[in-house]
């Protein structure tokens, strides 16, 4: 398996624009996670899905953020409208379950810069 795939790897946009980040999890993994990482706040969980259903979105900062998982092999994280404070690295991860013995496999991340 190629691992978790994210696109784009880098995104530079202007304030107010819509941004869509994409993720393909590892085949067979039932859980998909979206994280945001900054120096100040570290790795923050935004939302996670189980079998394409959102389970916990309490980490989503505000209504400008939305995430979907239309099928088992694809998820998107959308920011509309984007703001400079959204600049961060966004990671997608997948796992077999959320039991403590199952590890998460991370993608390479998308570095978002909002000017």
Partner 1 sequence: SQKIEQNSEALNIQEGKTATLTCNYTNYSPAYLQWYRQDPGRGPVFLLLIRENEKEKRKERLKVTFDTTLKQSLFHITASQPADSATYLCALHQAGTALIFGKGTTLSVSS
**28 SS3 class:** coil
> Is 71 among the residues that bind partner 1 (CB under 8 A)?
no
* Token pair for 112: 């978002």
The DSSP letter of residue 73 is T
Single residue of 43, 51, 85, 115 touching partner 1 by CB under 8 A = 43
Give the C-alpha separation, 91 to 35, whole Å. 5
Verify cis geometry, omega within 30 degrees of 0, for the bond prior to 29. no
Please select the residue that binds partner 1; options are 21, 24, 26, 33, rule is CB under 8 A.
33
Minimum separation from the CB atom of position 81 to partner 1 (A)? 27
Q: Is 100 in the site for partner 1 (CB under 8 A)?
A: yes
User: Which residues lie near partner 1 (CB under 8 A)?
Assistant: 4, 31, 33, 35, 41-43, 45, 48, 56, 91, 93, 98-101, 103-109
């Amino acid at each position: 398996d190629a691992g978790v795939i994210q696109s784009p790897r880098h995104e530079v946009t202007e304030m107010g624009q819509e941004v869509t980040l994409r993720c393909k999890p590892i085949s067979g993994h039932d859980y998909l996670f979206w994280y945001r990482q900054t120096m100040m706040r570290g790795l923050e969980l935004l939302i996670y899905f189980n079998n394409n259903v959102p389970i916990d979105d309490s980490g989503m900062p505000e209504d400008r953020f939305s995430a979907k998982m239309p099928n088992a092999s694809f998820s998107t994280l959308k920011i509309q409208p984007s703001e400079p404070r959204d600049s961060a690295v966004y990671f997608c991860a997948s796992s077999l379950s959320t039991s403590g013995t199952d590890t998460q496999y991370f993608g390479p991340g998308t570095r978002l810069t909002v000017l």
